[in-house]
Amino acid sequence: MATTYELKTVTLRAVEATGPSISDSGMLEKLARSAIEDLDGDQEHFVLIAFNSVLAPIGVKVMSSGGMDSAFVDSRRVFRAALLMGAAAIAVAHNHPSGGPTPSGADRNVTNQLIAGASTLELRFVDHIVLGRDSIYSFNEHGEAG
């Protein structure tokens, strides 16, 4: 018996298929913060942002919520959600409840894994944003993604 997947199984937030194209990390930050604003602030949350071919956001999904200093990232689930949303490009983000946006070694490993997977699936990897309390770290702006 074949398993059928439908788009309605993907939780979409902040859907704006005709909205402005994403041009900087500040816009990604806004989308990511809006996705986690109602979630527990003392936990890490990992967010997928999906885009169409002109980088207009088409969906945002919280992929996981974890502990105080980590959130499990299953790259297969990330790419499944992206493909079900019809994404041509993706960005990811997660928060650091401690307040500082400096990425950890695990953050860098996840980023590299997602970049490789996106390339295999012919998806553009836009950025990975780490949300600190009052600032962010953009892997793309530091030459580590995109």
DSSP codes joined into one string, 98-121: TS--PPPHHHHHHHHHHHHHHHHT
Going along the chain from its start, the domains and CATH numbers come out as 10-138 (3.40.140.10)
DSSP codes joined into one string, 16-84: -TTSPPP-SHHHHHHHHHHHHTTS-TTS-EEEEEEE-TT--EEEEEEEEE--SS-----HHHHHHHHHH
12, pLDDT greater than 70: no
More confident residue, 16 or 81: 81
pLDDT of residue 11: 41
CA atoms within 13 A on the CB side of 131: 24
pLDDT of residue 86: 96
pLDDT tens, residue by residue, 28-70: 999 999 999 899 989 999 999 999 999 999 999 999 998 888 8
pLDDT of residue 146: 63
What CA–CA distance (Å, rounded) separates 37 from 17?
21
Average pLDDT over residues 3-14: 41
pLDDT of residue 8: 35
